[in-house]
Chains A and B, each alone.
Chain A
Amino acid sequence: MNLADPISSIMSKDLITLKPDDSIAKADNLFKSHRLHHIPIVEDEVLVGMLSKSDLLFFKRGFGDDKDLDQLEEIRLNNYEVCQIMTRKLAKLESNDRINVALEIFKENIFHAIPIIDDGKLVGILTTYDILKNLAIEGNAISEYKY
C-alpha cells in the first residue's frame, strides 16, 4: 500500500446504508447479520450521519440484559429512528485524497471510519480495517515480520 495512492484504491465501495428515519431495530439486525461496525446514513444520496456499533451499544446499555426481555428490546428499538443516535459531525474526505491524509485523521483516534464524498455524494467509506487489510495482504508486510 502506497500512502501516496488515492483513497479510492483501498476504500470500501459496496456500501450498506440506512435512511435517517429507519428504525434502530433495522440497524441492529444489519450489524448482527453483516459484521459491520459503521453504517452511513444517507438521505437523497447525501450523507447525513454515521451510525457506529458504539452508538448502538450506548443506546442499548442497561436494556435487554435479560434473555426473556430480548423481544421487548427489539420492540423498543423498533420505536426509535437511527437519526436519534447517529453521529452528525463527521470527518469527510474525497476519493482522490491520499491515504496518508486519512491516516492523520485515524491517528487522532476519534473516528474509525471516514465517509468518502465526491461532488456531494457518498462514494465509499474508509475504515481502519481497510488499512489493516491492505497492509496484511501485501507480501512484504507479512514476510518481513520476524518472530
Chain B
Amino acid sequence: MSALLSVQGLRVGFGRDPQRSEVVKGVSFDLGAGQTLGIVGESGSGKSVTALSINRLVDFGGGRITGGSIVLERSDGTPLDVTKADESSLIHVRGRDIGMIFQEPMTSLNPVHTIGAQIEEAFRLNRGLSGRAATLAARDALDRVRIPDAAQRLGYFPHQLSGGMRQRVMIAMVIASNPRLLIADEPTTALDVTVQAQVMALLAELKREMGMAMIFISHDIGLVAGIADEIMVMQSGQAVEQGRLNDVLDRPQHEYTRHLLEAVPHFNGGRATRSDGKRTEAATPVVAVDDLVVRFPIARGLFRTGAGSVHAVDGVEFDLLPGETLGIVGESGSGKSTAARAVLGLVKATRGRIDIAAGRSRRPVQMVFQDPFSSLNPRLDVESLLAEPAIANGQRVDEKLRQRMMFLLGRVGLPDDALRRYPHQFSGGQRQRLCIARALMLNPDVVVLDEAVSALDVSVQARVLDLLIDLQHEFGLAYLFISHDMAVVERIAHRIAVMYAGQIVEIGDAAAVLSSPQHSYTRRLIAAVPAIERRQARFTIDATQVPSLVRPAGFEPAPPQWREAGADHRVRVEANP
C-alpha cells in the first residue's frame, strides 16, 4: 500500500518570526489510501494547524511552514510537495484531492445563498457539472447524507436548518468534490450527542463507500476511537505518541496519553457515579420547583399579536436537597438552561412555583456560566470582579472583604497575585475557577452550574470537577449541574434529571438512571455517547429530529403520567413506547 500522504518533520510557525514562534514542532506521519488517522490533543496542541497545513489553508491564518515536507500523491499518481506548491496548483488540490469539514457548520456555510446553490457550486467547480445536472447531483448528495425531503431542502438557507443538518450539508459538499482525503476538524464538537452519533455514522459510511482517507481531529479520544485506524496524540506541537488505534488505547506508552485516557471523564454507564451523600428523605429541600412553565411568545405581524409560543420549559418539577448535586442532562433546546435561569429569576416563569429556602445570605442561589470568556467583564480586574457581589449586597470593600477574596482564590487554586490581574491574563480553566470563586463570595447554599466545564479542555475539566466536589463538601453546597455531557454528569451528580423538549422524561438516582435507563430518549442519549470500550460498535444512522417546541396559542400539554422504576427513579410514561 503506497502512502497517499506523507508528512515528514513538519514545522509551522506564526507571526513575524515564524521560526521562533512555532506551534507545530516536527510532526511526521504517513496515511495510506482509505485509512483514517485520528489526531487527538487539547487546545493549543497544534492539531488543527497540522491539518490546515496539509491543504495550506494555514497560510491564510498567518502561519508559515518553516520546515519539513508534505507529499501528497495526486490522482494521476504524481507526488506533489504541498509545502513548495504555488497557490494556483493548490486551488486544484483543495476540494478535488483534499476536502475539509470545519467545526462550526453555521459559519462555514454562506448565509445568503441557499444550500442547493452552495452544493451545486461544489459540483460545478470540481466535476464541471452545470445547470440541471448540477441540481440533480446536489439532490443526490443531500439524499446521500440522509437529509429528508432533499429536493425541497435545496431551496433552504443555512439558518433554516439545524446544526446537525448543516454539518451534513457540509459533508454533501465534500461528496461533490469526491476527494481522496477528507480533513474533519472537530466536526461534531458544536453538535449534540445524538446528532454527533448521526454525523459520525455518516462519516464512517461514506469512508467505507467512497474509499476516502480521513484525518479526524478531536479533543475527545473516545470519539476518535470509534472511527480511526491509526491515532496520533499531540501535545504542545509534538506528536507524543502515534500508532495503531488498539495499540495506543490498550497499551499507551506516553504519560500524556495515559493521562488523557485516565484523567478525562469517560462515560461508564453509571458505574462511575458518586457514592457519597445518599439522599435522606427527612431533609428539607433548598430548592423545590413545581410545575415550572416558561413560554416565549412569538410575535408576528404589524400588531405583534401572539401567534403561539415556544414552550421552552413545560411542567418541570424537581427538588434539590442541601449538599446534593442534581444533574440536568439534555440536548440543546431541551429547556435545561431555561429551567436553571428561571430558578435564578433571570427569565420569568410563565407559571409554577419555585421555592427557595432562606439561606446563609440574601442571595442563596448563585450561578456559574458556560463561557468563562463572556461571564467576566474584560475591563475589570479580579478584585473588582470579586467585589461586585459584595457591593451589590451592601458590603464595603475593606480588608475583611479582601481577606475573603484571598481565601476563596486560594480555595479554587489561584495564586495570591491574581487580585491585580485582568481576566485575559488567565487561561480558560483559571477563569472558570474565578467564576466559581465569585459565585462563592456571597456564601450561597445553591450554585447553578450551567455547562460550567463544557468550554474547558478535557484534562482541565477533570480538575475543575474535582474542585467542585471538594468545594461542595467544604461549604455544604447544593449543585444544580446542567450539562449535555453524560460523562461529566456521571462524575458529579447524585441524581440525574433527563430533559427532552422542555420536559423531564426521567429523574432519579444517578446510578439507576445511567445503568438502567427506562425512557426511550434516555436510552438513545446514552447509546450515542462515544466510549472507548464501545469503539468497535458501529452506529446506525438515525435521522430523528428534535420536535418543534412552537405551539399554537392556548395549547396545553397533557398532564404527565409517571411510573416508578425503582426507589428514587421515576420515568415519564411515553405515548407509544
- The yes or no verdict on A and B being binding partners is no
